[in-house]
Amino acid sequence: MGYDRAATMFAPDGHILQVEYAEKTIRLGSASIGIVCKDSVVIVSDRRKKDILIIEESANKINEIDEHIIAVSAGISSDARVLIERARILAQQHWVTYGSAPSTESIVRDIADVKQQFTQYGGARPFGVSMMFAGFNGKPVLYTTDITGNYLKYKANAIGENDDAIKKLLREKYREGMSLKEGIKLALEIFKEIQGDDFNVDRFDAGILSKGKIKKVSGKELE
């Protein structure tokens, strides 16, 4: 039991238990699916059940990082907010310093570095959030960072609740060269299969990056 008292302590089997506990937090968050299409990339995000007292726009999890990068998170939303603000600052610093748009991977790498640091310093806990970044630097790209500070590039991926089941369906149904319409349709079909009777298109937001332009659509617009 003593090996889970700090994020800096390895268990005898080589695991850092606090990091593994934090990974479970991600699966408590609402799910998002990212799909790279022929000339665009889309992230479809679930807001879960609607609360009539909440203004829906404030619950949208898809965040603009720069004019060609968007991000979505699963896990502790306040942790994600801190990292999103960091990513925006990094993007603006790149513009000021170099006068050009930062690559999506450079932003993802810097955020992953921050997350990694919090797995090795005493007195701090790991960020309890996984983040998915979609970007367009000449072509559409999709990256995901995890708790440990690792990041990978994907053709399609999912984070949040039921992510293993969603990834299994993506492996079966995803194909390269899909149109944007086909990508959104696939994401919603997978959500419908996973959620069953709880599925309602009104609870979904989508962030679309096409030729460097960002568009957000929600609910009935997705149909």
Q: Does 32 map to a domain?
A: no
- Domain extent at residue 120: 39-50+61-195+203-213
DSSP tag of 197: G
- Report how many domains make up the chain: 1
CA-nearest of 178, 72, 90 to 132 is: 72
In 3-state terms, what secondary structure has residue 74?
Answer: strand
Query: Token pair 């995901």 is at which residue?
Result: 144
Q: How deeply is 176 buried, as exposed, middle or buried, from its count of CB atoms within 10 A (0-12, 13-18, 19+)?
A: exposed
* Residue 184 and residue 42 in contact, taking contact as beta carbons nearer than 8 Å: yes
pLDDT > 70: percent of the chain: 98
Euclidean distance between CA atoms 135 and 88, whole angstroms: 13
Give per-residue pLDDT as tens, 182-207. 999 999 999 999 999 989 888 899 99
For residue 1, the model assigns a pLDDT of 60
The CATH number of whichever domain residue 171 belongs to comes to 3.60.20.10
Give per-residue pLDDT as tens, 65-118. 999 999 999 999 999 999 999 999 999 999 999 999 999 999 999 999 999 998
Beta bridge partners, 156, equal 35
Q: Does 85 map to a domain?
A: yes
